[in-house]
Structures are given as structure tokens and as C-alpha cells.
Structure 1
Amino acid sequence: MARGLTRREFGAGVLGLAAFTGAGMRVSFAQSAKYKLRYGTAFPADHPGVARIQEAAKAIATETNGTVDLQVYPNSQLGSEPDMFSQTRSGALDFMSTSGVNQTVVPVGGINAVAFAFEDYSKVWAAMDGELGNHVREQFGKAGLYVFPKMLDNGYRNITSSAKPVNGPEDLKGFKIRVPGNQLWVTMFKALGAAPTPINFGELYAALQTHVVDGQENPLALISSAKLYEVQKYIALSGHMWDGHHIFTNGKKWAAMPEEIKAVISKRLTEAAVRERADIVALNDKLVETLTAAGAVFNKPEKKPFRDVLSSAGYYTEWKSKFGEEPWALLEKYAGKL
């Protein structure tokens, strides 16, 4: 130990040197990288879907000796999800993750979001890591996109409201609810008697605060990070849709990369997705406690009444026709008869 330094000071110096060295290595990697790649996402910076991809990016840089520098841009810094999806299709953006907007190119890409399809995560991952997911990935491949084999978890979506809790379909009659601009959402809530209103996520807090809409629906992680609980007292754990993010890249650009580079990127993004899934489950359990302490009131409505109304309204028949017999049969293989 250096004379004149306490044990604590010496330890701090070692840690500081390690941090400096690590930072220097990262800068060196970035400067010397042959492949400088960008990954765009709408997830907030503190979302597990960002943290795990950033972790993967560091591992990729290390494992490729700095040949690959993957920069991660959260919070829609590179544009809206439709914008980033278009950029990835054209090859202007290297990677991005999203769910619903991809239906504009590959309609079956949104089949995982059929209302009340998946009872729990065991069925979700059996389907999306299995034959249903393979079918969807194959269709994206035909559209010029490569989709990585494991999806990120965005979570089950839940309904929030300001005036009263949503306990059943009858509470949605005339209920003005913000939805993404996606027909799966619009047709579902119309069939339940609500008034679905597409609003950009960035404008949602103000729309709820000024009562432009009565409520909204999102996974708990986004309800928390966007502080929607400040303007929505009630949270119904409806779990009406499971929402996941595929990780996309341009098919031609991916095919042109060396096999050893593709193997490292694929390995690390796959690991990131699996770890992120566990993060979301743990986060959801914690958020119920955290949001309750913040004043939110939770309830857990029965799902069968909602499914019965949707079935009577022809929702499932309509989407079976739109998606087609083959993918619908694969969906029901895991979800059961809809």
C-alpha cells in the first residue's frame, strides 16, 4: 500500500483507475469500431428493455474486441416507432424494437396482441418462442426484415381510469379511452362499447389531466415511468392484451455482415431479451406496491365477461379472417379456442 494513504483511499484509487481504464477502453472501442451501429427504441431510458440492450452492447464490444460499437437511443430519440421502423426497413437505422406499428407492413405481426388470448406468460413464451413466433418472423423475412428469435417483454396491458374502477365490460360503455393508432385496439374497445381515441403517447398525460379522455391502457412499467398514476386513480389489472417487442434489422444489411459478428450480436441480443423478461415480471410485482403507496387503487376484474362480449360482437371472427386460417390455428394451439 502507498505510504500516507489509508486503506479506504487506496481502494478508492484502484476503483477510480479501473473506471478510468474501462472508460478509456470504451472510447477506444468506439473510435476503432469497424461496425458503428445504432439501436432505436421508444422505451424510456430507465426501462429494462433499454438497460438490457445497453448491457448487450457492452458485451458485444468486448467480445468483438471493439469491432462492433452498438449505440442505444431510448425515448424515441431517433423518431417515433413508425419512423424508426421505416428507417430500419430502408437500412438507414441498424436496429430497433417495436410491436404494433409493424402491422402496417406485415399484418400478422400483431397477432400476439389479440385480446385476452394468452392466460399467462408460460403460454406467451411457448407461442412466441415457438411455432407462432417462427411464422411471424418468417413473414417479416419476406418483407426484407430480419427478426431476432427472442422478443422483449413490454408486458400485459391494463386499463386506468380517473372517475371509477373498471370492474367489467359494463364500465366501458361510452368510456373515452386513449389507444395507439392500431386497429386491434380500436376494434376491441369498440366491441366493448367504449370510445377508443388514438393519441400520441407523448400527449397522453396532458389528455388525461384535461379529461380529453377518461382513461388509457398500458403496461405497468409505462404507467409508472410516464407518471400516469398522478392523473389516473384507478388501475384495473385487466391484462387484456400481451404486448411484446420484436427486435428488427434490415435483412440485406444483416446478411452482408460476417458470420462471426452476426453470431455475437445474435447471442447477446437473445440473452438481453431473456433477462429483460425476468426484469419485467419482478418490476410488475414491485410496481403494484409502489403505485399503491403513491395513491393508486388496484382491482383485478374477471376476464371471461370481456371475452364473452368480444365473442358475441364478432371480434374474434373478424380477426381470424384478417390474419388467416394458418396463423390463427397456431395462435389457438397455445391460447386455446377463441
Structure 2
Amino acid sequence: MKHDDSLGQQGHARRKILAYGAVLPLSAMIGKYAHAAEFNYKMATGQDPTHPVNKRAQDAINRIKEASGGRVDIRLFPANQLGSDTDLLAQVRNGGVEFFNLASSILATLVPASGIVNTGFAFNSYAQVWKAVDGPLGKYIRSEIEKFGIVTVSRSWDNGFRQLTSSTRAIHTPEDLRGFKMRVPPAPILTSLFQALGAGPTPINFNEVYSALQTKLVEGQENPLPIIATARLYEVQKYCSMTSHVWDGYWILGNRRAMEKLPADMQVIVRREFDRSALDQRADIAKLNDTLRQDMTGKGLQFVDVDKNAFRDALRKSSFYKDWKAKFGEQGWNLLQQEVGALA
């Protein structure tokens, strides 16, 4: 299912999200610049057009065009129009697209260190998250990403704390996950997390999630509330357990060659404006998180509060933390534990 097929649907939650996601028409920019752009680039995202990622990406694009005097023109392609997330990761490396926003959890298939922020039940709050990813841990992750021929264009954007949904059972405790068939992104740490908790996770690309839930290929999935809302997953799910099991962020990735082609002053503009939009997008997600639970309750989704400590204790009894400490290495793991305390 294409998640942008029903943008005309009315509803309180939809209107709220549209308030953040209404992308400014590019026609407003036409005619302002006398000459064609010197640098015509593409930016791909996986989020529905109504998601704050696309609103704030378009804001940055418009400001970049303005500040560069029309020399840099970036066209936005939302909702996986140019391919799945895994396809687009290959494209941003080979120059098929110049910019791409990707969740840390999926980027970890290429850059293992980027997945350290996805360690299960590590972060307790956004205060912990931003201190870590805007500080030494984030600096370390960015340096690791740039070893793979791509660059990080800005500070991390917010994907959010991930929550667990189901069409068949309310998940209250780790025991409720036994044998639970669920979709996870193609992200090894999430597969490992739910295997350690006794579930049966299946990696499925995001553009196939709705149909997988609708046809009962899987019983449930996990995503941040804004994704659950904009993709209308509440239509095919009954319960949402507020596990906040993993925080995930987006990195705005740039093709190294494309960035290096830009004059130094243009590179500064690109980074500055995507950084500004990162902070705006974080604020958008915070506002949405305050309202979406109530909005989706009105659409029939039943919310379940859980004891997160029970899930963390179950992970400690497994080899999950020990295994991922070994995979991430001492440097990254120590930087994480400096912010969140001892995990293993």
C-alpha cells in the first residue's frame, strides 16, 4: 500500500500531522532565479509526505536555494519513491541520489557503530538521547559513518522511541512476546532484541509493512508513534504497548563526491540549514508525541503501559548486552554507558 493514497482523509490527528507536513510548493520558487542551478541534486526519504521529516527537509531545501542564490537546487522524493531504504542506501553511496535520510537501525547494516543508539532499553529519556548523540557518542558515530564513502550532513534527526503494536494480543510483559510473529526493519540489532525476548521477528522493508499486517503475514510491528500514525498502521493493529524499547534517529546522509563538488561556502550553507531543520524536526516530534496517543485512541487503537524494567531485566538474563558490547567494541560501548549507566 502507498501510504500517501488518502491524504484527503479528515480527522484530528491527520490534521495535526498535516500542519507539520504540508510541504511548501516548489512553484513558489520558480521565476525568482534568472539562471538554472549549477547543482541539481536529489534527496530521498522513506517517510510519508505528511511526516515532519519531509516538512523540515523541504524547509531546509528552500533555505539552501535561497541562501545559495539559486545555485543549489535539491528536489525532494518522499515515501520511498526512488526505492526501498536498502536500495537508497546503495544509491547514496554510488551517487544515484545525493542525499538520503536513513534510520540508524538500518544504517547499521553498513556501519555497525551507527546502531549503538538502538541498544534495547538503553535510554530512559530524550534528555539522555540528545546529550549522547549531540556529544561524544554522536561524534564517534559520525566518524565511523564517514569511513564508508558517505558523509553526515547534519546532526541527528528524531525518529523517536519505538513502540510495539499487535493485532492479536496486548503485550504487557516479556512473556507475552513468546512466539509473537512480528515485523522488524532490516536491522540486526532489532532482530536480535526480539529474539532475546522470545518473539519471532521477520525483517520486512517499510514500504511492505501495511500489507504484511493486513494479510496477517505478521501479527505486529514496532515503530515510533508518528510513523504508526502517518502510515495509518492503527487501521490494521489493535494494541499499542508503550515499551519505548529503542530510540532511533535519522542521519541525513550525503554522497561524498556530490558534497565535495560544492564550493566550500555552499557546503557550509547545506550543513547549516539541515542542522537548523534537525532542531525544528525534533521539536515537531516532541509535539506529536504529546498528542498522538490520544488521537489514535480515538481511532480505536488500545494503548498498553508496561514495566520497562521487566523487559530490561529479561535482556540482562540473556546474552543480548554482552553480545552487542562485543560487536560494537569497547570504545563505542563505553561512550554509550557514560550517558546511560552500566548495561552489561
TM over 0.5: yes
Q: Which of 221, 232, 239 is the aligned partner of 1:227?
A: 232
Match for residue 54 of structure 1? 58
| Distance in 1 separating the partners of 2:277 and 2:64 | 11
Q: Judging changes above 3 Å, is the alpha-carbon distance between structure 1 residues 131 and 149 closer, same or farther for their aligned structure 2 residues?
A: farther
More helix by share: 1
Answer yes or no: is 1:84 the counterpart of 2:88: yes
CA RMSD of superposed structures (Å): 1.5
Match for residue 156 of structure 1? 161
Q: Residue 305 of structure 1 aligns to a residue in which SS?
A: helix
Q: Judging changes above 3 Å, is the alpha-carbon distance between structure 1 residues 24 and 112 closer, same or farther for their aligned structure 2 residues?
A: closer
Contact 1:29–1:69 (CA under 8 A) maintained in structure 2: no
| Distance in 2 separating the partners of 1:247 and 1:25 | 23
1:147-226 equivalences under 5 Å are 147-226=152-231
Match for residue 253 of structure 2? 248
TM-score normalised by structure 1 residue count: 0.90
Contact 1:229–1:291 (CA under 8 A) maintained in structure 2: yes
Match for residue 276 of structure 1? 281
Q: Provide Cα deviations, 1:35-68, integer angstroms capped at 9, x if missing partner.
A: 1111111011110000001011111111111111
How far the C-alpha of 1:216 sits from its partner, in A, is: 0.9
Q: Provide Cα deviations, 1:119-138, integer angstroms capped at 9, x if missing partner.
A: 11111111111111100111
Q: Judging changes above 3 Å, is the alpha-carbon distance between structure 1 residues 30 and 212 closer, same or farther for their aligned structure 2 residues?
A: farther
Q: Judging changes above 3 Å, is the alpha-carbon distance between structure 1 residues 289 and 31 closer, same or farther for their aligned structure 2 residues?
A: farther
Q: Which of 129, 134, 145 is the aligned partner of 1:129?
A: 134
Q: Residue 92 of structure 1 aligns to a residue in which SS?
A: coil
Q: Residue 261 of structure 1 aligns to a residue in which SS?
A: helix
Answer yes or no: is 1:115 the counterpart of 2:104: no
How far the C-alpha of 1:297 sits from its partner, in A, is: 1.1
Q: Which of 248, 259, 263 is the aligned partner of 1:258?
A: 263
Q: Judging changes above 3 Å, is the alpha-carbon distance between structure 1 residues 96 and 29 closer, same or farther for their aligned structure 2 residues?
A: farther
How far the C-alpha of 1:70 sits from its partner, in A, is: 1.2
| Distance in 1 separating the partners of 2:109 and 2:164 | 25
User: Which segment is superposed worse, 214-223 or 313-322?
Assistant: 214-223
Q: Provide Cα deviations, 1:191-245, integer angstroms capped at 9, x if missing partner.
A: 1011111223222222222322121111111111121111211111110011111
Amino acid at match of 1:57: I
User: Which segment is superposed worse, 220-229 or 319-328?
Assistant: 220-229
Contact 2:154–2:272 (CA under 8 A) maintained in structure 1: no
How far the C-alpha of 1:303 sits from its partner, in A, is: 0.8
Q: Provide Cα deviations, 1:151-206, integer angstroms capped at 9, x if missing partner.
A: 11111110011222111101101111111122101111111011111223222222
| Distance in 2 separating the partners of 1:256 and 1:279 | 32
Contact 1:156–1:239 (CA under 8 A) maintained in structure 2: yes
Q: Which runs of 5 or more residues in structure 1 are unaligned?
A: 1-21
Amino acid at match of 1:76: N
Identity within the alignment, %? 40
TM-score normalised by structure 2 residue count: 0.89
Q: Which has the larger radius of gyration?
A: 1
1:21-60 equivalences under 5 Å are 23=27, 25-29=29-33, 32-60=36-64
Q: Provide Cα deviations, 1:5-64, integer angstroms capped at 9, x if missing partner.
A: xxxxxxxxxxxxxxxxx9464345496211111111101111000000101111111111
How far the C-alpha of 1:79 sits from its partner, in A, is: 1.1
Number of corresponding residues: 317
Q: Which runs of 5 or more residues in structure 2 are unaligned?
A: 1-25
| Distance in 2 separating the partners of 1:81 and 1:27 | 34
Q: Which of 282, 290, 294 is the aligned partner of 1:285?
A: 290
How far the C-alpha of 1:94 sits from its partner, in A, is: 0.8
How far the C-alpha of 1:141 sits from its partner, in A, is: 1.5
How far the C-alpha of 1:308 sits from its partner, in A, is: 0.8
Match for residue 329 of structure 2? 324
| Distance in 2 separating the partners of 1:188 and 1:283 | 26
| Distance in 2 separating the partners of 1:299 and 1:81 | 30
User: Which segment is superposed worse, 157-166 or 267-276?
Assistant: 157-166
Match for residue 12 of structure 2? none
Contact 1:238–1:303 (CA under 8 A) maintained in structure 2: yes
| Distance in 2 separating the partners of 1:302 and 1:30 | 60
Match for residue 150 of structure 2? 145
| Distance in 2 separating the partners of 1:330 and 1:202 | 34
Contact 2:106–2:185 (CA under 8 A) maintained in structure 1: no
